[in-house]
Amino acid sequence: MLKVCIADDHLLILNAVRAALMQAGDIDVVGAAHSGREVLKLVEQHEPDLVLLDHRMPDVDGLSCLKTIKQRWPQVQVVMLSASEDTKQIAEALDAGASAYIGKRINPQDLASALRQVVAGVVYQRSADSVEDSESAGAPDRGEELTKRERTLLEAVARGLSTKAISRELWISEKTVKFHLTNIYRKLGVHNRTGAMRYAFDHGLVTSRVDENEAAAASA
């Protein structure tokens, strides 16, 4: 079980995050806090694997909490969860030791997967410079939100496989393939196979690429 402490100054958000993580089955929410001081007490008491921390917190703000946690408990990973996508704010959090920065626009169903990727060490952490230069204006790489299964489908799309071919290769129904593709398009911010393939190639998510006309034909 992955032990997680969560913190947000809004009770509604806090309860929603707790519910989303508890549904995962392999995540134990050992503590929830409404303020910065409560966060530090919870970390000392429970020694979690990870703290999901809102950037804006009363009495002690999220960035100050992050710095204190990394000083006192360097083994604890901290993920910032914020509605803000300000590039300077993201850079400050990463420079202070945050393992990742997640926007609150994330689908609640994807939150647990994102935290697992952080703990597994497979989430790409940008430097401050690369955050400044990002075309997404400070948003974390959208490819980070993809599950392992979705990445497999994305590779198949990049190889030019049709929906039927992907269905046969992965032993899943065509309806399931379409469901996964819809989620991939949403997470990458694109509208079709061509857009997904271009994004995946440009961001190093896949190693192969077919002609865009072939991709469009495969979706027909």
Mean pLDDT over 60-74 rounds to 93
- Shared domain check, 158 and 116: no
- Shared domain check, 104 and 36: yes
Number of compact structural domains in the chain:
2
- Shared domain check, 156 and 91: no
- Shared domain check, 75 and 8: yes
Say what the pLDDT of residue 173 is. Answer: 81
Q: How far apart are the first and last CA of the chain?
A: 43
Residue 212 sits in a domain whose CATH number is 1.10.10.10
- Shared domain check, 172 and 92: no
What phi, psi does 43 have (nearest 5°)?
-65, -45
**Which of 40-49, 195-204, 208-217 bottoms out in mean pLDDT, i.e. has the lowest?**
208-217
- Shared domain check, 163 and 114: no
Distance between CA 216 and CA 131 in Å, rounded?
A: 32
pLDDT surpassing 90 at residue 31 = yes
pLDDT for 114-169, tens place per residue? 888 778 765 544 433 333 333 343 444 556 678 888 888 888 888 888 888 898 88
**Which of 10-14, 60-64, 92-96, 145-149 bottoms out in mean pLDDT, i.e. has the lowest?**
145-149
Say what the pLDDT of residue 64 is. Answer: 93
Distance between CA 86 and CA 131 in Å, rounded?
A: 10
- Shared domain check, 204 and 150: yes
pTM of the model: 0.57
Confidence of residue 208 (pLDDT cuts 50, 70, 90): low
Give the pair of three-digit tokens for residue 90.
């993201």
pLDDT surpassing 80 at residue 10 = yes
Say what the pLDDT of residue 143 is. Answer: 62
pLDDT surpassing 50 at residue 35 = yes
Range of the domain at 205: 146-218
Residues 10, 38: contact at Cβ < 8 Å?
A: no
Q: Mean pLDDT: which of 27-31, 186-190, 213-217 is highest?
A: 27-31
- Shared domain check, 152 and 129: no
Pick from 14, 15, 17, 7: nearest CA to 40: 7
